[in-house]
Amino acid sequence: MVHQKKKLVEEVSGWLRIHDDGSVDRTWTGPPEVKFMAEPVPPHEEFKEGVAVRDVTVDEKSGLKVRIYLPQLEPDYTDNNNHNKLPIIVHFHGGGFCVTQADWYMYYHIYSRLARSAPAIVVSVYLRLAPEHRLPAAMDDGFSAVVWLRSLGRGQGSYEPWLDNYGDFNRVFLVGDSSGGNVVHQVAARAGLVDLSPVRLAGGIPIHPGFVRSVRSKSEMEQPESPFLTLDMVDSFLKLALPEGCNKDHPFTRPGGHAAPPLDGLNLPPFLLCVAESDLMRDTQMEYCEAMKEASKDLELLISPGVGHSFYLNKIAVDMDPHTAAQTTALIDGIIEFIKKH
């Protein structure tokens, strides 16, 4: 029997290869010195550097999983409101809807830090990836995770001791990196249509969201590309992720655009929009900011000067470059301040 060699039909710079039999290879083939950031971190239920981590299957039928980060607290811990329960941060990872996983080191190093510093319980969702699962799969998974929290809060279904014992279901925040920021908007909009009680969505925090449009923006043409974001990556990933036949003006990538539901009709919680000054998508993120304000939505803006897209996930830059380190601390502090206010 002769085995024909698979033919490569599409490749996205180091991240992803698609073969003629439909198989997808996500083995990292970029610079080897950054490969460690794409390595999975095993869960550890014992506290390491002040955080314990476990993976939980939230839906046996679909296989949807989340990673939960629990910070180690002093026995007599209470927050500013004299609560001994912790806010819950539901995290949606980035990767252009096509790559990365919730257990990758690039997320572990920053979200374990946020869980410890806030302090808060972080629930990071393993989103399904395109092209095997085109959008709205990631949005569906994000919303399913919030519905799972509602079932825990109501005492229905499974028991999750970390969340049941320590989580404040009245203070749930959605946070997303890059394309995960798009998921924040869509999940918040969908959540505004249903009764989530006792869960209360207290805020949405899109960090450098993947908001684009079919016509290139000025920042896309002028800002320098980075290892985490090139125009080729944006175009290639969205071609694989958006519903068949759709372009970048789709509501999933342009939620403030003409094809999207009017923002003033959405029931959204307060938002903190985080923008990097040197992000290729800065201009379209700012267009979203203006559209939200025109719709009289409660939105704060946090701009990180002199850094590019997802700078805080780049552990090498955070460790080696004082400016990146300082801006990462400022970003985390800004997120914590927003959480404490709501």
* The predicted structure's pLDDT at residue 33: 92
d(CA 111, CA 92): 11
**SS3 category, 144:** helix
Is the pLDDT at 78 greater than 80, yes or no?
no
Tens-place pLDDT, residues 150-178? 999 999 978 899 999 999 999 999 999 99
Q: Tokens in use for 23?
A: 């198989």
pLDDT above 70 coverage of the chain, percent: 96
Is the pLDDT at 1 greater than 60, yes or no?
no
d(CA 136, CA 19): 23
Which of the following is catalytic: 179, 226, 309, 310? Answer: 309
Question: Given pLDDT bands bounded at 50, 70 and 90, which one contains residue 306?
Answer: very high
Tens-place pLDDT, residues 87-112? 999 999 999 999 999 999 999 999 99
Q: Which residues of 114-141 are buried (b: 16+ CB within 10 A; e: fewer)?
A: bbbebbbbbbbbbbbbbbebbbbbbbbb
Is the pLDDT at 6 greater than 90, yes or no?
no
Tens-place pLDDT, residues 213-255? 999 999 999 998 876 789 999 999 999 999 999 999 999 999 9
* The predicted structure's pLDDT at residue 3: 60
Question: Given pLDDT bands bounded at 50, 70 and 90, which one contains residue 20?
Answer: very high
Contacts of 81 (CB under 8 A, 6+ apart): none
Which of the following is catalytic: 91, 124, 168, 178? Answer: 178
pTM of structure: 0.96
* The predicted structure's pLDDT at residue 30: 86
Question: What is each CA distance from 5 to 16, 18, 226, in whole angstroms?
Answer: 18, 13, 34
d(CA 335, CA 342): 11
Is the pLDDT at 81 greater than 60, yes or no?
no
What average pLDDT score do residues 330-334 get? Answer: 98
Is the pLDDT at 76 greater than 90, yes or no?
no
Q: Which residues on neighbouring strands pair with residue 271, listed in sequence order? A: 204, 299
Q: Where are the beta strands (DSSP E) in 96-135?
A: 121-125
pLDDT above 90 coverage of the chain, percent: 90
What average pLDDT score do residues 13-21 get? Answer: 92
* The predicted structure's pLDDT at residue 147: 97
Tens-place pLDDT, residues 132-157? 999 999 999 999 999 999 999 999 97
**SS3 category, 148:** helix
Question: What radius of gyration do the chain's Cα atoms show?
Answer: 19
Q: Give 190-255 as a DSSP string.
A: HHTTS--TT--EEEEEEES-----SSPPHHHHHSPPBTTB-HHHHHHHHHHHSPTT--TTSTTT-T
d(CA 70, CA 163): 9
Burial of 6 (0-12, 13-18, 19+ CB in 10 A): middle
**SS3 category, 312:** helix
Phi, psi of 123, rounded to the nearest 5 degrees:
-115, 105
* The predicted structure's pLDDT at residue 79: 62
208 part of the active site:
no
For the ranges 35-44, 191-200, 222-231, the lowest mean pLDDT is seen at: 222-231
Which of the following is catalytic: 168, 177, 279, 283? Answer: 279
Is the pLDDT at 82 greater than 60, yes or no?
no
Is the pLDDT at 86 greater than 90, yes or no?
yes
Question: What is each CA distance from 256 to 155, 251, 284, in whole angstroms?
Answer: 37, 7, 9
Burial of 50 (0-12, 13-18, 19+ CB in 10 A): middle
333 part of the active site:
no
* The predicted structure's pLDDT at residue 7: 92
* The predicted structure's pLDDT at residue 80: 59
178 part of the active site:
yes
Burial of 244 (0-12, 13-18, 19+ CB in 10 A): exposed
